[in-house]
Amino acid sequence: MSSKQKKSVTILTESQLSSRAFKDEAYDFYKELRESHPLYPLALGTLGDGWLITRYDDAVHLLKNEKLKKNYENVITAKEETRPVLLKNEEPLTKHMLNSDPPDHNCLRTLVQKAFTHRMILQLEDKIQHIADSLLDKVQPNKFMNLVDDYAFPLPIIVISEMLGIPLEDRQKFRVWSQAIIDFSDAPKKLQENDQRVGEFVEYLEYLVRKKRNEPAGDLISALIQVESEGTQLSTEELYSMIMLLIVAGHETTVNLITNMTYALMCHDDQLEKLRQQQQDLMNSATEEALRFHSPVELTTIRWTAEPFILHGQEIKRKDVIIISLASANRDEKIFPNADIFDIERKNNRHIAFGHGSHFCLGAQLARLESKIAISTLLRRCPNIQIKGEKEQIKWKGNFLMRTLEELPLSF
């Protein structure tokens, strides 16, 4: 989106926010919005009209604001029509904790958070290290790999699949299915394609849950089937939805974190060399800076306004859609000095790449651990690693929610 185009745009649409052209110039655009239009109008088709939030302080405030709801049914009155159903197989996408509000959200989160405690995550360290080494064993003789396909995607999908108890041979299917879920679009052809893929996902989950009911094991899906929290079991729809969320959220963010961190390091030779020399001291701060600099989740999922309020002199009406740009908030110059500089020694890095408030990412600690092991192993085993070809040829993928590269070819 050129400067001329920016000035002429009065309302942003879903197709614009999802385009590759927008991703390429998003940081410049966000900077302009933070300065002059921190509350920017959106038109999201059947989902409604609303606002894009770009400043850090606004983002933190709204992520905790009880006037905003994730479940649309908590916004409308009994006399009003519900939101139009876009997908025939939509229900399993909406019954998980990411699309729920308290007290339902608290109950659903309690069911799975025991699997993501500090102690449980640390127990996975050796397993993650083994997976990272095994993946590099396969590509190292070739002295080349596409980081996304060969390393960044398989590592977290193997981890979350083993946690859930998903057979090895089924894991590759999740890439297509999860892309259908995060591909936010109301274009008729795309909707039909995504609906078909979500339907395939649901059929697989029906099979998987049936198998786990008959043959329970020591995995998270078996635990979810059996668990009771405050006397209430998950409904079938909630169970499918929760498993779907854990699969998708359990790897998509980490794929982007590993890929985007590697890309940032490859584009900043001084920071790469600094990390090589001081891995033990700087890996934690380097990971946090990567989360801030190229936030894996660019835009939040939708929140609806339950009660009107005023922000920057503008009335936010009931049922207005609110989208928060985590990527923009994490480049806010008022919070982060030299925000557009990638600095792996950055202090007081208060980024919100994993969100904020009650919906803070449950798997944040796991994503951090997977990324640290993946990057440290990559730098140790491939000391001469570099981008193969021209850096200018590396492209961001068109996607509404995520900031992800289509591919990252590396030679070593």
pTM (two decimals): 0.90
The confidence score (pLDDT) of residue 3 equals 41
Q: How confident is the model at residue 239 (pLDDT cuts 50, 70, 90)?
A: confident
Cβ-contact 346, 285 below 8 angstroms: yes
Spatial strand order of the sheet with 409-411 comes to: 144-146, 409-411, 386-387
CATH number of the domain enclosing 279? 1.10.630.10
Q: How confident is the model at residue 325 (pLDDT cuts 50, 70, 90)?
A: very high
Print the domain residue range for 210.
3-411
Other Cβ atoms within 10 Å of 230 Cβ, number: 8
Number of domains in the chain: 1
Which residues in 122-149 are b (16+ Cβ under 10 Å) and which e?
eebeeebeebbeebbeebeeeeebbbbe
The confidence score (pLDDT) of residue 168 equals 79
**Contacts of 396-399 spanning 24+ positions with Cβ under 8 A:** 396/20, 396/23, 396/24, 397/20, 397/23, 398/18, 398/19, 398/20, 398/22, 398/23, 399/18, 399/23, 399/182, 399/183, 399/184
- ω into 308 cis (within 30 of 0): no
Task: Return the closest-CA partner of residue 202 out of 252, 251, 237, 161.
Answer: 237
Q: Report whether pLDDT(57) > 90.
A: yes
Per DSSP, the three-state class of 243 is: helix
Please report the beta strands in 59-143, taking only residues with DSSP state E, as ranges in sequence order: 68-69
The confidence score (pLDDT) of residue 94 equals 62
Q: How confident is the model at residue 6 (pLDDT cuts 50, 70, 90)?
A: very low
